[in-house]
Amino acid sequence: MVEVTVHRPVRYSLRALELLLEQEDLPEAAWHSAPVVMMNGRPHSAACRWLEYRQEMLGQSTTPYANALSLAKWLAFLHSRGSTIYTATEADYRAHEYEQRIVAGVSDGTWHIAKGAIKQFHEWLLRTAGTPLPFTLEPAVGYDGRRVWRIRDAGRRVRARSAAVPLDPEYAQRLFDGVATVTPLGRERIGRARDLAAIGLLSGTGIRLNAARLLTHYEAVEASQHPPLVAFRTPGAINKYKRGVVCLAFPNRLRHVTSYRLGDRQMFTAGVNYDPTRLPETKRFKDNSPLQILEADSSRVEYVDIDGVKHGASWEHMSAERRLRLVDPDGSSPLLFVTSDGMPLSTKSLGDAVRMAARNAHELDPRFPDRVHPHMLRHTFATHMAVLWTKGVARVGQTEREAANDAHPWAKPVDAVNMVQMQLGHSDNKTTDVYVQFTTHLMRFPVSQILSVGGQP
């Protein structure tokens, strides 16, 4: 275990040093030094020389000290991976970003400062020692309009949206574990099964939050007996860009949807007479009258409007407005997620279920990220699925045992991106790249651990 410490500059009395050392006219450098980075009690030569250069260039020690703190974490991380500043690769840099953003949960501003220090340090190493950069630079326009060079993708896009960083399988499981069983007053909490179902659906299919909120119980996948992956469809009418998506989903996470649909949801909707005209968001509709369902299955619905006219449509083309107006034969709303009073759950409430589980998980384990956004689960799904595709696990007909024995951890990364792009419904693989940029970091997790996320909450 390496110990990396940072020491502030020390100011001495020049006259006291002259008397102590019995020397006259000591140089200024003898009493004013730059911050020092120590590894196991010894100064790190390259880091100290760069910090001296930084202090001489800036004429102050505050910024170099902040640089030293960031550099110390980078040096310690490289040592933990058996690497050094001279042998570091882009994979090391990406893994360090993942550890800082997710494991340590640093803020966007803090990571921006740390990334800048690492970039400037390695640029200095390139100039002075010819050491290759452990990242790729791309041109950009600075705040003052000048042309600058920034680290490609990893910092800028992640900083623009923190949700772009996924949960690894260990933390994804802890999110399920964070769904509270009791209220702060010690009472059994109503809605626990629904919250588990929400997290299971979002992380198991990659569906967007608003689309999940508008999904009906007819479209929910029966996933209790299906290994190792199941097909799931997000209807185009409620999806972004009106594009329907069929993806492979994680059944172990979707089993919570099945449990909720057959359990608490039936209790919530029992004896409820749902009136869509009372829903606040339907009041802005041109027509918010109820649409009574006559018959429905997983692909189509037959219903009658207030004038008695019969209609039929596939769920693929059933708009959000009509979904909110539908009424089941038993008088309840057909939407999958409902309140304890049987009313459709709002998008905010569905997202709050994820945020509350994340807060509980952070309280149980401070290492768990303290800021988790619902869209993060879409990135989590994408990265987990990319790992499975890269390892060859997601191929049709392959068993979990065969997948676990695959000896090609870096086999088809391009195919993995393309397949995830199809499953997320992206038109441009550059968008998918943002989702799966941390795939290499998660390759260390076994297949069985990824497939088992969501078990035994």
Which range, of 107-111, 330-334, 362-366, 408-412, averages the lowest pLDDT? Answer: 408-412
Mean pLDDT across the chain: 82
Closest CA to 413 of 439, 431, 378: 439
Does residue 9 carry a pLDDT above 90? no
Q: What angle do CA 450, 451, 453 make, to 5 degrees?
A: 70
Q: In which band, very low, low, confident or very high, does the pLDDT at 145 lie, cut at 50, 70 and 90? A: low
- Residues in the chain, overall count: 457
Residue 294, pLDDT > 90, answer yes
- Provide the pLDDT for residue 149: 82
Among 102-111, 370-379, 433-442, the range of highest mean pLDDT: 370-379
- pLDDT of 55: 87
> By mean pLDDT, which of 116-120, 176-180, 404-408 is the weakest?
404-408
Strands 147-151 and 230-234, by their bridges, are: unpaired
How many other β-carbons are positioned within 10 Å of the β-carbon of residue 282? 18
* CA angle centred on 251, ends 248 and 253, rounded to 5°: 110
Q: What share of the chain is helix, strand, coil (3-state, %, to 5)?
A: 50, 10, 40
pLDDT, tens digit, for every residue of 379-419?
A: 899 999 988 888 876 554 444 444 444 434 434 555 777 78
Out of 15-29, 137-151, 224-238, 312-326, the most confident range is 312-326
Q: Which domains does the chain have, with CATH numbers?
A: 4-160 (no CATH), 168-457 (1.10.443.10)
